Structure 1
Amino acid sequence: MIDPVDNFEIPAEWIKRASIPLDELKLRISSGRYVLLSDGSLLRRGFTTGTTAAAAAKAAVLSLKGDISELSVPTPVGIRVFLPVHAKDGKASAIKDSGDHSIDVTGGIEIQAEAKENETIIIKAGYGIGSKNGKPAINPSPMRQIEEAIKEALLETGSRGALVTISIPRGKEIAKKTLNEKIGIIGGLSILGTTGFVEPWNEHLGETKEELIEKADKVVLTTGRIGMRFSSMLFPGYTVILIGSDISRGLAAAKGEVVICGLPGLILKWANPDILKNSGYLTIQEMIDANQENPVIDRALDEAVRVSGKRIVLLDRNGTIFRDTHERNINPINPDGTL
């Protein structure tokens, strides 16, 4: 069984642990709305601002011919999704559904669209959508998604084009709770979404990582977004923190049980900064691709366990486990530096 959003091949063991019938599980997974975790439980994905804006834009165009209360829109990963909307006389709104995302400051926001007949398709950013370097903060993937949704509406209504203005009434207010200003986006929120779906976990990109780590009884420290996604699936019940290269800082803050999980690059470089010296390889991934059994990899992994005293799980980019030290007998280094 393949998760159609991230193309992850779901292990058979996870499927056996699911509490719902197989046919129903397949239906839920194929919809893109659900993620199966390693313990057999399911979490619900939400929709991005891009998907929500696409729904509002399509509804606005359709409502030039009649009222609309529900419709479907395409997503960048090729899955069609249905959203409730409120649309009448060329004005429409849709509410962003965050699914089971733990902390989504944009959850529940209203995205509005207003459509007017036009010779071609023109998409404008209105109030509450931020800008960066003078350009609307609508990323390319959701912009294409919005345009495709408008094209569907035009095909259905027989119209030639539409001028659609998208706005977020509380955009400026909500943007203050995000990192937008720090990355140069001013005046509102971004319209985002490479898949059309919001994963059902918090990526902890704020400035409270140490506090979150300290409070967690069980925590996974992960190095990137791929690690974030699959760690959340592999370790239900754990708080998963995206720590990047600051593994030592994360370990220092931790009070409870800790697992380090992610792609090999940052983890092995953290354990052995000179791992590539005189190796003939430019990256750790290149080293792994050449020989997955290269003893240099395991020596660096053993060093990581000795230094941290923690379980370390290295992942391939497709989410499969490349190395897991759970069964390895390695003596950690004591705080005074002795074995």
Structure 2
Amino acid sequence: MTENPELREPDLPRTMKVRQKALRTGWTTGSCASAAAKAAALLLRGEDLPGYVEVALPSGNRVTFKVEETVLDADRERARAVVVKDAGDDPDVTHGAHITADVSWRDEPGLDLDGGEGVGVVTKPGLGLEPGGPAINPVPRKMITHAVAEAVFDTSLDVEGTPDAAEITDPGTGRGLRVVISVPDGEVMARKTTNKRLGILGGISILGTTGIVRPFSTASWRASVEQAVSVMAAQDETTLVLCTGGRTEKGAMKMLPKLPDVCFVEVGDFTGAALRRAVEHGLRQVVFVGMAGKLTKLAAGVLMTHYTRSRVDTELLGRITTDMGGSAELAAEVARANTGRHAYELWEAAGVLGPCGRELCRRVGLVLERFAAEAAGTETSPIAAQVVLVDFTGERMIAMAGRMAR
């Protein structure tokens, strides 16, 4: 049942080495799409745009985007707006993309959101999106809905009170709106991503969970992770909570409310770097909180999990399925899964998510402790590791395994 994979910590891609300056944050395709959609909706309703539009991020903070281009059809039934994506200093293939929104009236009430040219179509399960639909992720969908609602109702809205799409209807005419997001040359951009392997065909995905692009995949981000661990240790805290992203960090804070915020580190791809620094500072407990994909990479022994340097080993998940008593048919289906999320969904549908999730967590914990022992130059790990698998909201704990420090 126990596997002892080779521990690997691949180097960063050459194009992502540290730059000799501070790195700028940028904006996600989701943020840009929401700004373009709001601009086009305002134009459609007769507003004179000053060239800039303000939208809300999921955090509630508001930011202003320059509107590069606007067009209103002669019959005033359709408007177009373009926002050029600035990805900051992240090595993002969509930097400079012209994120375009076409907004038109429709007789039915409510908001209809779709993808156009250059936005991929989902063809496989495991992405949290309906196959056959556009690759516009849930948070960007909500951001676009919120932005268009502000244009329709001519007011700023609290992000927590975003209306349902069905409620977005022009008060004066009773008509709804259709929003189509497109990205010229998006299909070409997508060739430099993993979209095709994931079953997203014909273009890029409209992504983002915070609305902000932070340069996670750089040596500077690795340095910031190491610094965060050092800061935590300087506060005489001994429990380090590593979270793979913003959603998992938010969920981890709810799970462990007694720990101060300084204990929580958004580790990104740099688990190995964080563990090495934790060993240097004599920390005794690590709690790793993540979703199925990242945990699978770690269980396979990969401590630097950037997508260009590792893949999700679904065959490992198939072996876990067998070890936990799953049928041969289920194990084979899991081994062929499109993504870690797809495997998770197969486990859930078969009623084995609990035991398989715990075994995945257990294997990750062993890898983390083996890595810590090697970093310390000892036979046994100086750090006890607990691992938590969360769902895809990042807030609900699905399984946990590992040991507590004594």
TM-score, normalised to structure 1, is 0.53
Write the distance in 2 (CA, Å) between the matches of 1:63 and 1:233: 49
Whichever residue aligns with residue 47 of structure 1, its letter is: W
Q: Deviations over 1:249-278 (max 9, x none)?
A: 97xxxxxxxxxxxxxxxxxxxxxxxxxxxx
* Cα displacement (A) at 1:316: 10
Write the distance in 1 (CA, Å) between the matches of 2:298 and 2:139: 25
Write the distance in 1 (CA, Å) between the matches of 2:148 and 2:273: 35
Given the superposition, is the C-alpha separation of residues 99 and 248 from structure 1 closer, same or farther in structure 2, using an over 3 Å criterion? closer
* Cα displacement (A) at 1:92: 0.5
Confirm or deny that 1:100 pairs with 2:171: no
User: Unmatched 5+ residue regions in structure 2?
Assistant: 1-20, 73-78, 124-131, 155-169, 227-241, 246-265, 275-293, 305-357, 363-367, 389-406
- Say if 1:227 and 1:315, in contact at 8 Å, map to a contact too: no
SS of residue paired to 1:114: strand
Given the superposition, is the C-alpha separation of residues 299 and 99 from structure 1 closer, same or farther in structure 2, using an over 3 Å criterion? closer
Write the distance in 2 (CA, Å) between the matches of 1:91 and 1:248: 45
Match of 2:7 in 1: none
- Say if 1:47 and 1:99, in contact at 8 Å, map to a contact too: yes
Which stretch shows the higher mean deviation, 223-232 or 154-163?
223-232
- Say if 1:203 and 1:228, in contact at 8 Å, map to a contact too: no
Match of 2:257 in 1: none
Match of 2:147 in 1: 149
Q: Deviations over 1:153-187 (max 9, x none)?
A: 11128554321111111111101111100111001
The match for 1:130 among 107, 120, 136 is 120
* Cα displacement (A) at 1:315: 11
* Cα displacement (A) at 1:88: 3.3
**Superposition map of 1:199-210 within 5 A:** 199-202=214-217
SS of residue paired to 2:188: helix
User: Unmatched 5+ residue regions in structure 1?
Assistant: 1-40, 205-215, 235-241, 251-281, 287-296, 318-339
- Say if 2:270 and 2:303, in contact at 8 Å, map to a contact too: no
**Superposition map of 1:112-123 within 5 A:** 112-118=100-106, 119-123=109-113
Identical-residue share of aligned pairs (%): 36
**Superposition map of 1:155-304 within 5 A:** 155-156=153-154, 160=174, 161-202=176-217, 224=244, 226-228=266-268, 244-245=298-299, 247=301, 301-304=372-375
The match for 2:47 among 66, 84, 88 is 66
Write the distance in 2 (CA, Å) between the matches of 1:158 and 1:114: 20
SS of residue paired to 2:37: helix
Match of 2:97 in 1: 109
Match of 1:49 in 2: 29
* Cα displacement (A) at 1:198: 0.9
> Aligned pairs, how many?
218
Q: Deviations over 1:169-210 (max 9, x none)?
A: 111110111110011100101111111111123279xxxxxx
* Cα displacement (A) at 1:91: 1.0
* Cα displacement (A) at 1:232: 12
Write the distance in 1 (CA, Å) between the matches of 2:111 and 2:184: 23
Given the superposition, is the C-alpha separation of residues 244 and 109 from structure 1 closer, same or farther in structure 2, using an over 3 Å criterion? farther
Match of 1:12 in 2: none
Whichever residue aligns with residue 103 of structure 2, its letter is: A
SS of residue paired to 1:178: coil
Write the distance in 2 (CA, Å) between the matches of 1:125 and 1:104: 20
Given the superposition, is the C-alpha separation of residues 158 and 93 from structure 1 closer, same or farther in structure 2, using an over 3 Å criterion? farther
Write the distance in 2 (CA, Å) between the matches of 1:97 and 1:315: 38
